[in-house]
Amino acid sequence: MFFWTPYAFVRFVLFLIAGILLGIYLPGLFSEQFVAAALLVTGIALSFLFYRSSSSNVSGIIVFLMLILFGYLNTLYHTESRNPDHFRFNDSIVQYQVVISGYPEEKERSWKSEAEVKFINDGNSWKEVSGKVLLYFSRQDFQNPFRYGDQLLIRGAPQELTPPYNPGEFDYQRYLSYRKIYNQHFLRASSAHFISNEPQWPMLALSFRFRSWAQGVLKKYISGDQELAVASALILGIKDGLDNELVNAYSSSGAMHVLAVSGLHVGIIYMIIQFLLRPVHSRRHGKVILALVSIGLLWAYAFVTGLSPSVLRAVTMFSVIAGSRALNYSTNIFNTLAFSAFVLLLWEPYMIMSVGFQLSYLAVIGIVYLQPRLYQLWVPRSRFLDQVWQITCVSFAAQLATCSLGLLYFHQFPVYFLVSNLFVIPGALVALCLGIVLLAVSFIPPLAAGVGWVFNGILQLLNFLVISVEKLPFSLIDNIHITTFQSWLLMGILISCIGLFEYRKFAYVISLSAFALVFGLVQWYHYYSITAQPKWVVYRVAGHNAMEWMDELQSYFFTDSVLMNDRERIRFHVRPNRLIHGVHNIISNDSSFVFHQQGIRTFQWKSLRVLQIQEPTFSIPDNLQIDFLVISNNAVKSMDNLSKLKAQLIILDSSNSVYTCNRILKEAENRDIQVYSVLHNGAFVYRLKNT
């Protein structure tokens, strides 16, 4: 039977998370004044109960209620958009002053930096404000990025982030809102002017300098773009240089965790420190000395990596573990993990929405709980097999614990993750050690060159093995779509299975059956309400026309040749909708139901007839009956050219310019004609009736 008593802090953090989620999803449910008053009342009631030594059950309920209220209030406090001084509430900005607040990220055509807005000017006067903005500096105009602490004067106004325009598309607006960013600005040379460098946190500025120095060392001694990209990601968490081919290879082989500095890397460093300082453990005050040195070295590593959120999260987790061991606290590892999560969520409640936070804690919990139980299933006779079995158990435990979230966020499952992790985990251990040694001996060029040569060889071998695993047949099961609710159901199925094997209780059979039944019903409903219904979609992909007909897990996709060859934009804008509809077979630019004429083409699909105007020299046949008219490539200059046509709706696709769309929309409004602009309103979706 599962007893809650030994897991006090697990309960605390669960109720705190409940309050945080309430504050994120229902921020207007209660006012801050009401929650503060409720906290005060419950605090007084709890003090009274402690004074009277009343029932512990009632006291526990009050404590949990206080945690929910505090989590809710703390989330509202950390929601910067609620601040009346936030700059986003001012729509008359002509220029503003910012200070760069993060490490620059290198993109294909720009430098991306986060900045704090300090002052805005509405044309009349300057006003002090608060809030963050995401800045993109064109690499044509800015050869080098701005540094942390640089103060800039920027002309113009930042644009508010927009919601996703296509079905199922990644919600970048919501993602950045969890990081307190609601606006962005694309800048050229004439728009941004340097004022001075005055970092708000000198220690953070020093940390970024160390990170730049470390990146320079890696560039000096590591040859090969892919090897350097993996080294930077593995040691420093810098993923700018990773190309799509390499990312796909690591993702498909189940080794993606190597390319993000997180619990694995910090755990390896902690294990190395424990191994090297093992003689200290037996001495007087050895545990305390070991903990202090471990924590100091872990935070030194975090300092070199630029104090990124993922590293801070992992270092905090292992610092709590090291501290609890030194103080001889008789607690279990789950309470220790819960305490570290509690501290992090107090500091930043929105961290609960971070994919990295969720995956890190689930992976560690899975390893701590499942790995020992899996390891006991077989006792290898040789040391080599024992090491292999240990790595296999760790990999399987982590993958099992994070499987539902992996399917939810990444829509794929790496089949050979057990194979890849047999060499990826030891390879990451060796590579991480060599990388740290390289940084340590970089002041001795001959020695650094030797270490760098070995390090480069290990990275080449690691990349070769990962790419080889990716090329194996059936290495990846992809195009998986599940909802958030289904992800929770999968977690329930997993927990029920574990409980059944652990405790042999019939109650777990019932819960397992219930979760599986609900999951199946949700999947059945999704198929018959969404997947099995024929649809026609006009996507919003700026500068391109893109239409798709979907029916019975198959799609007919029509677009221009440029977009057809741009796999990344199709993956971002079009693929999510295909995942939702379970599309497995894609037929591109098929001519079986298309009729071409001068400047136009007509689509006759099931009961739907669509006319697309592609060129200004179009000619429309007389008495043509259509359901929808699609205008592309700025082909229509005036609504007078469409007097012969009658359609349910005129659709302006995203290949038209904003100017053309605005002009036609205004003309249509004057004539009382219905026009839908994909650029303005997002993708157009038409659902056909099943026949």
DSSP β-ladder status, 628-631 and 608-613: parallel
Per-residue pLDDT, averaged over 564-568, amounts to 89
Q: Which of 459, 481, 503 is the last residue of a domain?
A: 481
Instruction: Please give the C-alpha separations between residue 541 and each of 106, 120, 572, 582, 630, in angstroms, as whole numbers.
Output: 24, 33, 10, 21, 15
Q: Which of 200, 230, 262 is the last residue of a domain?
A: 200
Report the helix count and the strand count for the chain, using DSSP H and E: 23, 22
Q: Which letter, b or e, does each residue of 186-195 get, where b requires 16 or more Cβ atoms within 10 Å of its Cβ? A: ebeeebbeee
pLDDT, residue 59, reads: 77
Clarify whether residues 672 and 595 are in a common domain.
yes
pLDDT, residue 2, reads: 46
Reply yes or no on whether the pLDDT at 408 is more than 50: yes
Clarify whether residues 497 and 566 are in a common domain.
no
Number of structural domains, the chain? 5
Task: State the pTM of this model.
Answer: 0.85
Q: How far is 24 from 291, CA to CA, in rounded Å?
A: 36
CB 628 within 8 A of CB 610: yes
In sequence order, the β-bridge partners of residue 616 are none
Clarify whether residues 178 and 208 are in a common domain.
no
Residue 31 resides in a domain: yes
3-class SS of residue 241: coil
pLDDT, residue 356, reads: 83
CB 384 within 8 A of CB 392: no
Clarify whether residues 564 and 664 are in a common domain.
yes
Which residues span the domain enclosing 12?
8-77
Instruction: Please give the C-alpha separations between residue 268 and each of 46, 263, 310, 428, 642, in angstroms, as whole numbers.
Output: 43, 8, 15, 9, 68
Reply yes or no on whether the pLDDT at 192 is more than 70: yes
pLDDT, residue 88, reads: 77
Mean residue pLDDT of the chain comes to 87
Clarify whether residues 441 and 508 are in a common domain.
no
Clarify whether residues 509 and 644 are in a common domain.
no
Per-residue pLDDT, averaged over 431-439, amounts to 89
Q: How far is 145 from 549, CA to CA, in rounded Å?
A: 44
Q: Which of 77, 99, 124 is the last residue of a domain?
A: 77
Express each pLDDT in 612-645 by its tens digit: 999 888 887 777 788 999 999 999 888 887 777 7
pLDDT, residue 1, reads: 39
DSSP conformational letter for 642: G
Clarify whether residues 586 and 660 are in a common domain.
yes
Extended strands (E) in 578-639 = 585-588, 594-597, 600-605, 608-613, 628-631
CB 326 within 8 A of CB 290: yes
| Residue 666: HSE in the Cβ half-sphere, 13 Å Cα cutoff | 7
Q: How far is 364 from 345, CA to CA, in rounded Å?
A: 17
pLDDT, residue 655, reads: 93
DSSP conformational letter for 182: E
Clarify whether residues 499 and 577 are in a common domain.
no
Per-residue pLDDT, averaged over 5-33, amounts to 87
Which CATH number do you get for residue 153?
A: 2.40.50.730
Express each pLDDT in 374-404 by its tens digit: 888 888 888 888 888 888 888 888 889 989 9
Q: Which of 122, 123, 38, 124 is nearest to 87 (CA)?
A: 122
Express each pLDDT in 31-64 by its tens digit: 889 999 999 998 888 888 777 765 567 777 888 8
Residue scoring higher pLDDT (547 or 272):
547
Reply yes or no on whether the pLDDT at 267 is more than 50: yes
Residue 142 resides in a domain: yes
CB 253 within 8 A of CB 276: no
pLDDT, residue 296, reads: 87
Clarify whether residues 188 and 206 are in a common domain.
no
In sequence order, the β-bridge partners of residue 686 are 536
Q: Which two tokens stand for residue 633?
A: 């490539």
Extended strands (E) in 62-149 = 95-100, 105-106, 110-121, 126-128, 132-138
